[in-house]
Structure 1
Amino acid sequence: MKGLTLQPEMETSERYFLLRGDIELLTNNPNGRFADVLSLFGTTDYLMQQSIVPVVAWLEGEAAIRCIGTASIISCTGYVITAGHVLLDPLEAGYGATRIGGKVQHREDLNFGVMIPYMAPVGGIYFAKAFRFFPFEKMWAWGEWKQSPLLHEDDRWEYLTDVAVCKIQEMPNGQAHQPLNMSLNPFVPGEEAYSLGYAEMPDIQINPETGGIADSTFRLNIYVTAGNILNTFPQNHMAREVSTPGPCFDFNARVPGKMSGAPIFGAQGAVIRGVVSRSFSGEEHAYGSMLGPAMELPLDEPEVRGRSLRTLLEHGNEGISQVHGVGL
């Protein structure tokens, strides 16, 4: 396991900053496969963008990609965690989904998933940063539809937790996604918490005919924010002490829009203990959903029963990191 030092791009005393791109190598013993080396060597921000990714959506023929939130890759095979309300954006914003019965049905021309940068060859030995789009193949969010007592209001989704799980395709050419480490242990008040995500990321202008990025100045910017845990609400799914759904916590960090679903790290940045659920514009106060309780929730499919993030981790078939001593 290789640690990365998160430094601001410009000198600042603030605990919210744009991540600087220092050159790093994640291993001293690469396997010799050229494509793998390119995913393990690069600037700090590029390497973090292999694991912390923007959630995006656009309809075929549109001239811009909507940037919705942030997600984290947690397995070599492409399991991802984000916030449940990020997944409902195409429905709630009315551009790409409808509700049929108890299920959300996406439009066939909707592209909904994450973007991951990679180094593409540009003749000879030169390389340039490009982006792969990985659509969500499967999605899990937990809760139920609640009917409004008001005739003019639509039914609303009541979350059991704001943690959601998605599955994207595996990397091409037998490569592995770069997963982050998860923890079952909860935060405690006073503990320092860190979050990384795509704060206030603008929509991306594209060529509607080719799908290529039309803005030559476009750059993925990953921001770091830090704060201390103020309170924890482990029984919030029953006591409803705060409006953030399910077991949660709050911390005094600046968390702008588009960081919804971003990982919240504990143990000095070693493990994910939650995801960003709710924040307040211009304030250093945000809420996160606890990851630990969501590890037990079912990832059932018609052909497979009894799966959860916990069982996927324990069985070891998906390449989910197990870190002993700091959270597992």
Structure 2
Amino acid sequence: MVLFSLDDPFGIRKAVVPLFWMESNGDLQGLGTAFVIDPWGGLTTADHVIADARLRGIMQHDRSGDFRINLPSDTGLVALHGYGVVFGTVGLPPAALRLVSRIWSPALPGSDPIAALQGRPDYQAIDLAFLTTQTPSLSAVRNLRLRSNPPQPKPGDVVVAIGYPRIETFKGSQDEARTTISEGMKAAYGRVVQLHPHGRDRSNPTPVFEIEANWPSGMSGGPVFNSEGEVIGLVSRSIAPETEDGLGTAWATWLQAFPELPDWAPTLDRNNSDWRRGWAVVRKLPWHLAGVFGSEERAREVAECAGADYVVSAGAWRLGSDDFVEVC
């Protein structure tokens, strides 16, 4: 169950993307891995991957204790969308680097006695974060199927994680990043050994499933797939094996353990892993789907240009198809 290079005939690089911190001069510092959850700029990663970026943004406080962060518009956290295996000397396409404008990390009440004595809020982020980027071109993204309902993983199940294990060590120009990215996406199998629905311990309350696997830290935030090709978790933490030919221990944030997941990521469809919820511009007779969008505002702008026969409807869309079902 070692790392192996992943050939990309199905465009998986459009779904599993590297995250960087971009300096004002355009240089990049590798952070970890994220994956696309909808075609409108929604990404998911592990909170610890972007924890430092959270500190550089402007926090919006609410009673939930969740971390809601607005990031600067000129420099900061970026995701690299739609960059496949390339050859030659072409650099990174400028449009491929999409700035992250918002971070949302759900939180649980903490257990710090000092905070209680001082009467101040104490919350600990779950190792799960939702990112919003500038909307990429539809041709630059691919959405993954997410399993938010049972069946859940069980001991003995074989899973596979995908990510960029060397990305954390990268620091340099965008041109220098090209080789790291084009050669750096890896996959590794693992076997589920235990479920921790209430977290590993008090200091690690995130629900996880434990895996016997070798998953290097740069893969943190990358998707973990079941045997049906559905995302059931994301890489959270890992401990390297004691011997070169041994197996380490890894933990994956367990998506199905969060009943709030459809509320945290409202574009997900509760019942269908390859559908997403959005706002469609449709003509009902004869049927024509002009497009599906992540916001009602954007859909209404498109409808105004589409013609009087087109209306805006909220519903569920089968990704990559003309299938759309209205939802009240």
TM class by smaller structure: 0.5 to 0.7
Residue matched to 1:291: 255
Same amino acid, percent of matched pairs: 20
CA root-mean-square deviation: 3.8
Provide the residue aligned with 1:188 in structure 2.
Answer: 154
1:197–1:224 CA contact under 8 A, matched in 2: yes
Please name the residue that 1:57 is paired with.
21
The number of aligned residues is 261
After superposition, the C-alpha distances for 1:243-282 in whole angstroms (9 at most, x for unaligned) are: 43322110011111111111111125x1000011111244
Q: Per the alignment, in what secondary structure is the counterpart of residue 71 of structure 1? A: strand
Task: Name whichever of 178-187 and 274-283 sits farther off.
Answer: 274-283
Write the distance in 1 (CA, Å) between the matches of 2:253 and 2:79. 21
Query: Residue 254 in 1 paired to residue 214 in 2?
Result: yes
CA contact (8 A) 1:170 1:177 kept: no
Instruction: Give the whole-Å Cα distance in 1 for the aligned partners of 2:192 and 2:253.
Output: 12
Amino acid at match of 1:51: A
CA shift at 1:106, angstroms?
3.8
- Whether contact under 8 Å (1:70, 1:262) holds in the other structure is yes
Q: Do the aligned partners of 1:148 and 1:156 also contact (CA within 8 Å) in 2?
A: no
Shift of 1:139: 2.5
Is the alpha carbon distance of 1:215 and 1:70 closer, same or farther for their aligned partners in structure 2, counting shifts above 3 Å?
A: closer
CA distance in 2, matches of 1:176, 1:52: 11
Matches within 5 A, 1:1-328: 15-21=1-7, 24=9, 26=10, 47-61=11-25, 64-91=27-54, 96-97=56-57, 104=69, 106-107=71-72, 109-118=74-83, 128=90, 130-131=92-93, 132-143=96-107, 149=114, 157-159=123-125, 161-172=126-137, 175=139, 177-184=141-148, 185=150, 186-201=152-167, 202-206=169-173, 212-214=174-176, 217-220=179-182, 221-236=184-199, 241=201, 243-268=203-228, 270-282=229-241, 284-294=248-258, 296-297=260-261, 307=266, 309-310=268-269, 316-317=277-278
1:277 is paired with a residue of what secondary structure? strand
Corresponding letter in the other structure for 1:271: E
Amino acid paired to 2:158: E
How far apart, CA to CA, are the structure 2 residues paired with 1:216 and 1:272?
27
Distance in 2, matches of 1:242 and 1:264, equals: 24
**TM-score normalised according to structure 2 size:** 0.66
CA distance in 2, matches of 1:72, 1:272: 10
Partner in structure 2 of residue 36 of structure 1: none
Aligned counterparts of 2:318 and 2:89: Cα–Cα separation in 1: 30
Alpha-carbon separation, structure 2, partners of 1:144 and 1:293:
14
**What amino acid does structure 2 have at the position aligned with 1:158?**
Q
- Identify unmatched segments of 5+ residues in structure 1: 1-14, 27-46, 207-211, 301-305, 323-328
Structure 1 residue 119: Cα displacement: 7.1
Query: How far is 1:218 from its partner?
Result: 4.2
Deviation at 1:190, TM superposition (A): 0.7
Amino acid at match of 1:72: F
Question: Which residue of structure 1 aligns with residue 313 of structure 2?
Answer: none
Q: 1:191 to 1:91 in 2, by over 3 A?
A: same
**TM-score, length-normalised on structure 1?**
0.66
Cα 1:148–1:98, aligned 2, differ >3 Å: closer, same or farther?
farther
- 8 Å contact 1:148–1:155 — kept in the other structure? no
Deviations 1:137-186 (A, max 9, x none): 332211157567399xx997502x322222223333x5462101111232
